[in-house]
Chain A
């Protein structure tokens, strides 16, 4: 059974369907990608899964539980962790505290204990945080404030924060945006290593380079609809995808040119060599 199972997901903003009738499955232990041009509805989709936007119709099932009516924090507790395109780090907390906030699953009476005791023993969450920090090579930056870090480092903190919660499914919203090629490559390596340690990943990006290289299975979104899906080599050849990325007219022109070329080649071969 799929870890994340989405059927007929539709999100409407007024008359506009930002996501229309999306079916999508993520199997456990895989890295699934969702690509699409700007404005295709990718972030809306991740918002819908994580509970940040209202779902008009459709079902979201995660690990056998229907998520549709759950609040974002409940979904996070079930093992659904996300990053944000615009990072949204806790700027007032150190990098370590950023991760700790996500890692901790406190009981409801935690505040009473916190009021009374000065400090507590090293918790299990600290180990989780250390692991996430070292997985992304952030150990040395742990006590800095996010505002002191470079954009690339901040991106990694965002991913580490999501990872620190030990999610079953990690949803990454454009993690490569704003990274240079080297940083993007390093991110790809990190992602594969998370996968081997048992985290399922769902990756959203409009940067085809990263997605095509690391994902096991890819969905392509355009104008709120899934226009293609398959392995990276299947998606690459799909004419709908090419049209979506290079524009309808360009795609058509290219296709026409291709067929013209083929026809011309055929005609030359028919008439034989010219003098």
Chain B
């Protein structure tokens, strides 16, 4: 009993951190409808700012100097003193940084996104998270830091007569978190600002009519949340051990749990929930070492049990169909009907086969062979997201974990109790051949996928996204890192034997130990083609219609005779099957799989890139695969930018690009490219000498000037661009500059025309449908009633 109370109390320290971050998540969600996956990263940047100012007297601004010159620089660091500033000054600086980050996040990222689908906001917050992590790595260094606590942190002996030593810091943490929670609750409950925020969350138009600016309110909420997160991390963070950019960013998971307990709505409940979560985790940590604790749960209980409870509560509270008049989610982009499937297949297949042979063992270009199969596998994984998220609208952040299920299960089914090069401990298993083991792996993924999809029957939108994160973490700790399931000792990777097909080896490793064998790339391509055609078929047939119907409107779908729950589970099942196939291919590529391949963060990153490619179409998945980390596009830019300092900024630029594309191209890149490619294709088919000449006249000068400039500056360069590439790159830059200049000129003339038109007769504008029609109905029906009754009297 004493142990129980003591361990509950010990967990309160971490619980306080969850509580404060969780209430920040609630505030942001209510203020602007964003589940801020970057919330932990906000706290991280704040605490690093604090520590850096106190330790070294530097203030590091939240951006990097990306300009590749020595004479023109972006100011990044401000030197305040030579040996650190006093703690209160550092604290004020960190809070000011939090205010700045909150404002930047609102005005640069989430304000432009206020009318996009929930998924777009999730993707943008992932972009912000990657950006801040990247900036922190560059500005503060990626290593661990041991920050000293600012609250007294001596040990209290024989705490409350429980006979154990208790850290005083945890008491402070709990006190401060409760104080903050109550203050925030009171602000939102009693002040006009709080009332206005709550009002604007319920009805934005109404708030505007009452004279409040919803955007101002949202910005204020971002600032409050960011400040609370920073303060929490500074006060409580050091108690929890060393600080790393990635580790602190991951705190968002516990905070999400706390926010979910509060239903993303109640600050008070989120606060108490966060404290309770910390306490329960600590207690489970104690119990999982006891002998009576189930062996299987031992590694994961700490993370899994609380999450499972939260999901269960949400599930029981949810409804199987949305209520009448419940708020509708913003729609995802339209999902185009796939056309010309055979043509697409042939073109992609030829490109891939060509590339596979070109890049095989081709010196420094061999990286492309690796990137090629990475991109193809990523495309398979993203196809699974197209089905689940693009077609049925369910945001799943567990697709990589499902891929992991297939990979790990296959590895275990292949194992036959022998040691391998990468794993000196033998793994027991039935030693099945690869097709059987792979099939079993995919089936396991489907089964788990349907289970992961079960909450979607009653939980919707962003809440579901958070629940799937919980599922991903559970799978990781319960299966991938669980020795009693994988039989892998000491975190060794699971070995996968290469596949072969009627004597043709499909191994990924070539004779030089590089993953560049064309046979493997073609094997992946064939699998990708099969998956892509299957997904296209789904979209073109009745199943796809039902998927999109459920995505568009669950109530109407049920009225049309669709079993909404079964349809969602079907999508999760198909998605899991495809993700499983992707996982199996990834296992074949790597020959070893480890849990690091399948963490929930990689699901987040993959979903983000799938969204950028265009999550509602098969082509979008393929473009997403090209964009994927370590894929073709990354490899290309690394290849060409090698030797320049820009290589270091890839994470930062990637995060920024993610945010930028989510704002500028909410439909994804593929639809835009498709349009362009179609025009280009049509033009190429019809173009004769005359047309070519016309284009040459239009684009030629800009290209030539660029190419000459590229050639001219070649002797001045410091990097390793080749002599051939430089003029071509220069020419392309010339074309880019031309199009930008033309675009600006066009927008100026458009503005002038508009001004001219405004001074003329006012254009007739259509009334905003809903309000106008509603008012007319109300008036009209009243009149009709009178008329009808009068008519009745006459009869």
- Whether B560 is near chain A, meaning CB under 8 Å from some CB there, is yes
Q: Are A73 and B561 in contact (CB under 8 A)?
A: yes
- Whether A4 is near chain B, meaning CB under 8 Å from some CB there, is no
Q: How far is the CB of B445 from chain A (nearest CB, A)?
A: 16
Q: Which residue of A lies closest to B788 (CB)?
A: A208
Q: How far is the CB of B119 from chain A (nearest CB, A)?
A: 14
Q: Are B561 and A77 in contact (CB under 8 A)?
A: yes
Q: Are A208 and B769 in contact (CB under 8 A)?
A: no
Q: Are B545 and A93 in contact (CB under 8 A)?
A: yes
Q: Are B324 and A242 in contact (CB under 8 A)?
A: no
Q: Are B540 and A119 in contact (CB under 8 A)?
A: yes
Q: Are B546 and A72 in contact (CB under 8 A)?
A: no
Q: How far is the CB of B471 from chain A (nearest CB, A)?
A: 23
- Whether A71 is near chain B, meaning CB under 8 Å from some CB there, is yes
List chain B residues, Cβ under 8 A from A100: 542, 545
Q: Are B335 and A92 in contact (CB under 8 A)?
A: yes
List chain B residues, Cβ under 8 A from A116: 534, 537
Q: Which residue of B lies closest to A180 (CB)?
A: B780
List chain A residues, Cβ under 8 A from B533: 118
Q: Are B540 and A118 in contact (CB under 8 A)?
A: yes
B537 contact from A71, A118, A212, Cβ within 8 A: A118
Q: How far is the CB of B409 from chain A (nearest CB, A)?
A: 22
Q: Which residue of B lies closest to A206 (CB)?
A: B781
A209 to B81, CA, bound (A): 83
**In A71-96, which residues have CB < 8 Å from any B CB?**
71-73, 76-77, 81-82, 84, 88-93
Q: How far is the CB of B439 from chain A (nearest CB, A)?
A: 16
Q: Are A114 and B538 in contact (CB under 8 A)?
A: yes
List chain A residues, Cβ under 8 A from B789: 208, 236, 242, 245-246
Given A92-B335, A100-B542, A111-B543: A165 touches B561 (CB 8 Å cut-off): yes
- Which of A55-63, A102-110, A188-196, A220-228 interfaces with chain B? A102-110
Q: Are B562 and A73 in contact (CB under 8 A)?
A: yes
Q: Which residue of B lies closest to A211 (CB)?
A: B788
Q: How far is the CB of B117 from chain A (nearest CB, A)?
A: 12
Per-residue B-contact encoding for A236-264, CB less than 8 Å = 1, 0 else: 11000010011000000000000000000
Q: Are A118 and B321 in contact (CB under 8 A)?
A: no
List chain A residues, Cβ under 8 A from B561: 73, 76-77, 102, 105, 165
Q: Are A90 and B552 in contact (CB under 8 A)?
A: yes
Interface residue tally of chain A, by bracket? 35 or more
A104 to B567, CA, bound (A): 14
Q: How far is the CB of A219 from chain B (nearest CB, A)?
A: 16
- Whether A43 is near chain B, meaning CB under 8 Å from some CB there, is yes
List chain B residues, Cβ under 8 A from A212: 788, 792
A92 to B557, CA, bound (A): 12
**In B452-478, which residues have CB < 8 Å from any A CB?**
none
- Whether A233 is near chain B, meaning CB under 8 Å from some CB there, is yes
List chain B residues, Cβ under 8 A from A151: 769, 773
A209 contact from B556, B776, B788, Cβ within 8 A: B788
Give the dominant DSSP class at B's interface. helix
Q: How far is the CB of B151 from chain A (nearest CB, A)?
A: 47
Q: How far is the CB of B785 from chain A (nearest CB, A)?
A: 6
List chain B residues, Cβ under 8 A from A120: 541
- Whether A178 is near chain B, meaning CB under 8 Å from some CB there, is yes
A88 contact from B544, B555, B574, B785, Cβ within 8 A: B555
Q: Are B534 and A90 in contact (CB under 8 A)?
A: no
- Whether B275 is near chain A, meaning CB under 8 Å from some CB there, is no
A172 to B503, CA, bound (A): 65
Given A92-B552, A178-B773: A165 touches B542 (CB 8 Å cut-off): no
- Whether A207 is near chain B, meaning CB under 8 Å from some CB there, is yes
Q: Are A92 and B784 in contact (CB under 8 A)?
A: no
Per-residue B-contact encoding for A112-127, CB less than 8 Å = 1, 0 else: 0111111110000000
List chain A residues, Cβ under 8 A from B327: none
- Whether B416 is near chain A, meaning CB under 8 Å from some CB there, is no
**In B760-795, which residues have CB < 8 Å from any A CB?**
769, 773-774, 776-777, 781, 784-785, 787-789, 792, 795
- Whether A101 is near chain B, meaning CB under 8 Å from some CB there, is yes
B557 contact from A53, A101, A117, A236, Cβ within 8 A: A101
**In B689-731, which residues have CB < 8 Å from any A CB?**
none
Q: How far is the CB of A130 from chain B (nearest CB, A)?
A: 16
A151 to B772, CA, bound (A): 11
- Whether B334 is near chain A, meaning CB under 8 Å from some CB there, is yes
List chain B residues, Cβ under 8 A from A245: 785, 789
Q: Are A89 and B545 in contact (CB under 8 A)?
A: no
Question: Max chain B CB contacts within 10 Å: which of A92, A145, A237?
Answer: A92
Question: Max chain B CB contacts within 10 Å: which of A51, A53, A104, A113?
Answer: A104
A242 to B21, CA, bound (A): 59
A234 to B4, CA, bound (A): 75
A207 to B541, CA, bound (A): 40
A118 to B546, CA, bound (A): 17
A117 to B341, CA, bound (A): 12
Q: How far is the CB of B593 from chain A (nearest CB, A)?
A: 27
- Whether A27 is near chain B, meaning CB under 8 Å from some CB there, is no
Q: Are B331 and A92 in contact (CB under 8 A)?
A: yes
Q: How far is the CB of B338 from chain A (nearest CB, A)?
A: 10
Q: How far is the CB of B457 from chain A (nearest CB, A)?
A: 12
A16 to B193, CA, bound (A): 34
List chain B residues, Cβ under 8 A from A89: 552-553, 556
Q: Which residue of A lies closest to B551 (CB)?
A: A92
- Whether A50 is near chain B, meaning CB under 8 Å from some CB there, is yes
- Whether A65 is near chain B, meaning CB under 8 Å from some CB there, is no
Q: Are A101 and B545 in contact (CB under 8 A)?
A: yes
Q: How far is the CB of A264 from chain B (nearest CB, A)?
A: 20
A76 to B544, CA, bound (A): 20
Q: Are B563 and A114 in contact (CB under 8 A)?
A: no
Q: Are B537 and A114 in contact (CB under 8 A)?
A: yes
- Whether A97 is near chain B, meaning CB under 8 Å from some CB there, is yes
A260 to B776, CA, bound (A): 37
A5 to B773, CA, bound (A): 35
A119 to B557, CA, bound (A): 23
**In B512-566, which residues have CB < 8 Å from any A CB?**
533-534, 536-538, 540-546, 548-549, 551-553, 555-564
Given A110-B542, A115-B538, A115-B574: A93 touches B559 (CB 8 Å cut-off): no
Q: Are B538 and A208 in contact (CB under 8 A)?
A: no
**In B258-301, which residues have CB < 8 Å from any A CB?**
none
A208 to B787, CA, bound (A): 9
Q: Are B556 and A88 in contact (CB under 8 A)?
A: yes
- Whether B395 is near chain A, meaning CB under 8 Å from some CB there, is no
Ordered nearest first, which 8 A-B pairs have the shortest CB separation?
A76-B561, A236-B792, A114-B541, A102-B560, A208-B788, A88-B556, A72-B558, A90-B552
Provide a sorted-by-A list of 14 A–B residue pairs whose CB atoms are within 8 angstroms: A90-B553, A90-B556, A91-B331, A98-B549, A100-B542, A101-B557, A101-B560, A116-B534, A118-B533, A118-B537, A161-B560, A177-B781, A208-B785, A236-B792
Which residues of B does A touch, CB under 8 Å? 320-321, 324, 331, 334-335, 341, 533-534, 536-538, 540-546, 548-549, 551-553, 555-564, 570, 574, 769, 773-774, 776-777, 781, 784-785, 787-789, 792, 795
Beyond the given pairs A71-B320, A92-B551, A207-B781, 7 more chain A to chain B contacts, judged by CB atoms under 8 angstroms and listed by A's residue number, are A43-B324, A88-B553, A88-B556, A92-B334, A92-B552, A178-B774, A209-B787
